[in-house]
Structure 1
């Protein structure tokens, strides 16, 4: 039992693969964060679209009001 145990060879993983793992983990994390940001960006685009719709609706109401006033003047 006095035998010296030979150290086992460690599994050799090339440096390129380790760098790739690190890069892919960082990429996955940034993708997750950006997807959350993207969700908020989609919402903000909806707000801009709603503002444009509001302007369109406001102008159309104003034009309709002017049209009705002219129509009433013609009748009277």
Structure 2
């Protein structure tokens, strides 16, 4: 699957705007987030806790969802301004 990072999430992921993630069979969104935290460390872990997630352009409310291997997960940190 592809994970795309926006704004502060991109910075927390070391400047990476997107990356491929290999999903083990039966992986959930929560499993993917754990994999990303392990890969990028504490800065991204903090951002992920506050971020909104879109799975194939639909807001993720249930992290037990099992994305398909070609899915796209967008990580949208809180944005300031108005």
Both proteins in one fold, TM over 0.5: no
Relative to total residues, which structure has the larger helix share, 1 or 2? 1
* Higher gyration radius (CA): 1
TM normalised by structure 1 equals 0.19
Higher relative contact order (CA 8 A, sep 6+): 2
TM normalised by structure 2 equals 0.17
Relative to total residues, which structure has the larger strand share, 1 or 2? 2
